Chain A
Amino acid sequence: MDSQDDIPTDRLPLFPFTRTDPFHPPAEYARARRECPVSPVRLWNRQRAWLLTRLEQVRSVLQDRRFSGEFARPDFPAVTEARVAIDKAERAFVGMDNPRHQHFRRMFTREFSHKRMMALRPRIEAITAGLLDRMAAKGPPADLVEDLAVQLPALVMCELFGSPYEDRTYIMKCAAGRHGMRQSPAEAAQTARDLVDYCRTLIDAKERVPADDMLSRVIAEYVVPGTLSRDELADICAMILRAGHDTTTNMIGAGTLVLFQHPEQLAKLKADPSLVERAVEELLRYVTPVQFAPRRVALEDVELCGQRIRRGDGIFAVGPSANRDADAFPDPDRLDIERDASQHVSFGYGIHQCLGQGLARIELHVAFNALFARFPGLRLAVPLAEVPFKFDSQIFGVYRLPVAW
């Protein structure tokens, strides 16, 4: 492959590319995987960045300490000016390198351990059943996004934080106002601050009246002895609330639609609900809600796949592309709920891989199985052309999903 590191930035293609097909990522990625897997692009601010489009590169760079994940760096790449404002406002460990990242993450890791998450499963089943009861009473038709996809993760977050269920509307609003491609930097920063303020109030309440929940335990163990400040905890709580919300919402909405579009696959799942674990991995791969992440910046000149990445160049490890890499996933554009898709990078990879992935998986397993058990005849209630897709968001999905049964 020819070196492309001397092309003037002005002549590089502008990133992000426009997504036009709801079921497949932009065609530019497929071309890049074939012809130039490490591809240079230009960002909105004329910064040069590189797209990593194949699975093995994504895995290796995300484990390579020559690339930094510090959101606060002035050269950290972003797809919009509003995203820069969000990055600058982010003070939780999601935007830190080690050793600081590990210092903070480890205070929360056991709260998200496999066993703790499995113990939450009965509560998640009960919450889901309650939501489906309401949906049944209301319809048909119903909007699956409003009635299930948005509600379930917000209620599960309330459960985890020990916050009142009434707070879910506020959590949903703050989480949703974050990924638009057209929001203003001031608006984005304000939404981020609002959620941190909410978390401060929640921490105050838990300090006064501790209970058996994650927040109370972290306060007792780390805030009281002075290992973690209240401000640091509020920043981390806001990060967890946001991360625990939008992605799961979009997986439930888009995942259900993808199953509707593949009736023979859906029939298999309905006939054998034990397929749900594989089906969810395949849907995570196929949908890949997070469009333009993970991101890094090169700390030194690095040669990658024949290209010379310069110090200060941005990196996008493009999950939607890596998850369609034919070397890792044969016939990658075909949905096959029986394949083993578990090495997808929809939760990222490396030290920042999603802390809440176990929780997300349980929510998705429960949601899909309960949904099709309760409504075996569930179907799309409008023509596909009328489904509003999130083409204008950094997290792909559907705004609404009208369903009938």
Chain B
Amino acid sequence: MVGGAFKVRVDTTKCVGAGRCVAQAPTVFDQSEEDGTVVLLTDSPDAALRQAVEKAARLCPAGAITLADA
């Protein structure tokens, strides 16, 4: 459902630290100070952020981000 509540998951074992997710949705994603891999700031972002998070998942070169309806 477009714009509905959703959950986001990241797979840090796949992450290559390209940083595209942080640029798209900085309130949802960050990068670890230790090795630059993705840090999820919230697994249930505001529904208004769905488009930005979908784009982050689409742009992630490693396929490390997935979305699911809540």
Contacts and interface: CB of A to CB of B under 8 A. Distances in A.
Interface residues of A, number: 28
A352 B17 CA distance: 10
Nearest to B58: A343
Contacts of B32: 110
A354 B59 contact: no
A342 B31 contact: no
Q: Is the interface of A mostly helix, strand, loop or mixed?
A: helix
B35 A109 contact: yes
Contacts of A50: none
A110 to B, nearest CB: 4
A109 B17 contact: yes
Interface string B1-32: 00000000000000011111011001000111
Interface in A312-354: 342-343, 347-354
Interface residues of B, number: 22
Q: Lowest 9 A-B CB distances belong to which pairs? A: A109-B36, A109-B17, A110-B36, A353-B61, A114-B22, A114-B19, A113-B31, A106-B35, A358-B19
27 contacts: A62-B61, A63-B61, A105-B16, A106-B17, A106-B36, A106-B37, A107-B35, A109-B35, A109-B36, A110-B32, A110-B35, A112-B17, A112-B19, A114-B19, A114-B23, A114-B26, A115-B22, A115-B30, A117-B19, A342-B55, A343-B59, A349-B61, A350-B62, A353-B16, A355-B18, A357-B18, A358-B23
Given A63-B61, A106-B36, 12 more contacts: A62-B61, A108-B36, A110-B35, A113-B22, A115-B30, A343-B59, A350-B62, A352-B16, A353-B18, A353-B62, A354-B18, A357-B19
Interface of B: 16-20, 22-23, 26, 30-37, 55, 58-59, 61-63
